[in-house]
Amino acid sequence: QVQLVESGGGSVQPGGSLRLSCAASGSVLSFNDMAWYRQAPGKERELVASIHISGRTSYADSVKGRFTISRDNVRNTIYLQMNSLTPEDTAVYHCNTFVGRTPYWGQGIQVTVSS
């Protein structure tokens, strides 16, 4: 089965940086589209950024210019570099991919931004 294993996260002060990693594995030759989502308490899940195997990316307006999504196609790993963090970025972050019609999710990583 497909597994998405996340690492990184933690607690930082406003203006700080964090990098999240998500390693995908399973009996799949390639993961064409991968993405990072986040969900804060009492709020809906939000698509933060996505990346295609070609390297084409998209971002939520709230993180443009601050976050960068990237991927290593050999290692089947995606990254989310988060800079200039604000308290509004506090959430549980999950990586995601689809294999056919089936979604797969990482275990979730807590990111807390507070002074």
The pLDDT score that the predictor gives to residue 60 is 98
10: exposed, middle or buried (C-beta count within 10 Å: 0-12, 13-18, 19+)? exposed
The closest of 16, 33, 42 to 111, measured between CA atoms, is: 16
pLDDT of residue 31: 87
Q: What is the pLDDT of residue 37?
A: 98
Q: Give the model confidence (pLDDT) of 1-60 as tens digits.
A: 899 999 999 999 999 999 999 999 987 777 889 999 999 999 999 999 999 999 999 999
Which residues are CB-neighbours of 21 under 8 A, at least 6 positions away? 6, 7, 8, 77, 78, 79
